[in-house]
Amino acid sequence: MSLPVIFTLLSGTLMYNVDRILLAHYSLAAMNGATFVHQMIDVIVLPLLSITAISEVFVGQFNGAQKFYKTSAPIMQIAAAMIIGWAIVYPIALCFRSSFIPQSLLSEGDPYFCISLVMIPFQILNCAFSAFFVGTRRPNVTLSAVLMSNVLNFGLDFLLIFGAAPFPAMGTKGAAIASLVATITSATILGMRFFSDHNAQNYNTRRMCVDWVILRKNLIIGAPYAVSELVEMLIWVAVLILLEKISMDAVTLQNVGVTFWVFFAFISEGCQKGVMSLASNCIGAGRDIFIRRLVRSMLWIIAFWAVISAIPMLVYPKQLLAFTFDITNVDKMTDYKILLFLIWLSYLFVLWASSCFGGILSSGGDTKFVTCVRIASILLWIAIPVGTYAYLGKLTALTSWWLGVLQQIFNGIFFYRRYRSGKWKHSLVRE
């Protein structure tokens, strides 16, 4: 497993979490507003990024088959298609945003929402360029962009959130501006590397023609992922809206959980990207036997992560909460400790299910099965139970996290059984 893949995925989640942590020290109202609207933004951006990211499967299979001149073909065309999709959704989201943001979160959330919408095309480009470098087994190329953009975001966050001459304190607006500038910087750096003389000569990156066959396959394979992301994010936004009607304490507890969850997502997303890249390269090269070794390596990574993450999450929860969110409320500490335990437990199943076996299934283009299982699990284990608890007046901020553990176990069982069946293996690039 390539560590640069994990560090590459750390870029976006680190920006997100730096924003939330600094906003929590600015005010909990700002953190709650930004976290809520970020989930609304994810309803738009995650389906687009899901389709874009699937281009990595094609890049990896072309690279494994040593058809290097074709590896860049899926990248720019799918990025362009997703940016067109964003352009269609952008004015609609901008016009109707106030209808979906609760009044208690509107003043802090609205500026963050508007600026974050502008950032989406650059996130798509970052995703597309990263898919190329990961798919060609050169994820280390993205590390310079990751480091520079995150250092820039961290510095601008301090200046723009809290204010420093000549900058006034701007709270959530400042956090959004910082992330926008950092994301544009990252996309620029990766774009320059993508179109460099070396890549133009060896990977044909400056050839701007549309391969309709690959584009169609990319959309067909990526669409199920996009649907599952859309359904899942809509349900989580609905959960947060229900909690907002209970109390702001429930919203804060949920948003703290979401922030930790998103931070740890760089591990699962990075592992999934690495698994997809290596497995698709193996399929393209006709070396499926090495995928078993990949599974064993992934299981060792999960075991290692279980030990390392347990130290702050389970052994020092008070110190972790005080450092990250300035939370020292003794009366609520039991709830927060349970929250950290549930996040830790469910994330181990996320690594096992989605990152390992879900990534392998996706490398063979078996995204329809993955999508069906994900949608079924989110409906059976989150939507229906949460709706029932809300109707009975028994919904709490911890309810969805307990159910989340069961959801991930459900995913893991079905993904593993599908992997063992061998029905997921498809070569997408054979002519």
Place of tokens 């139970």: 385
Look at residue 186 and tell me whether its pLDDT is greater than 60: yes
- Cis, peptide link before residue 166, omega less than 30° from 0: yes
- 164 forms beta bridges with 167
317 touches 340 (CB < 8 A) = yes
pLDDT of residue 244: 84
Give residue-wise pLDDT tens across range 95-114: 888 888 888 888 888 999 99
pLDDT beyond 70 at 426: no
pLDDT of residue 117: 93
pLDDT at 380: 92
Per residue in 371-413, pLDDT tens? 889 889 989 999 999 999 999 988 888 998 999 889 888 988 9
pLDDT at 2 over 50: no
Structure confidence by residue, pLDDT tens digits, 103-160? 888 888 899 999 999 999 998 998 888 888 877 877 777 777 878 888 899 999 989 9
CA atoms 332, 389, 93, 374: torsion sign: positive
| Predicted structure pTM score | 0.77
Residues 6+ apart with CB under 8 A from 324: 21, 24, 259
- What residue ranges do the domains of the chain occupy? 3-421
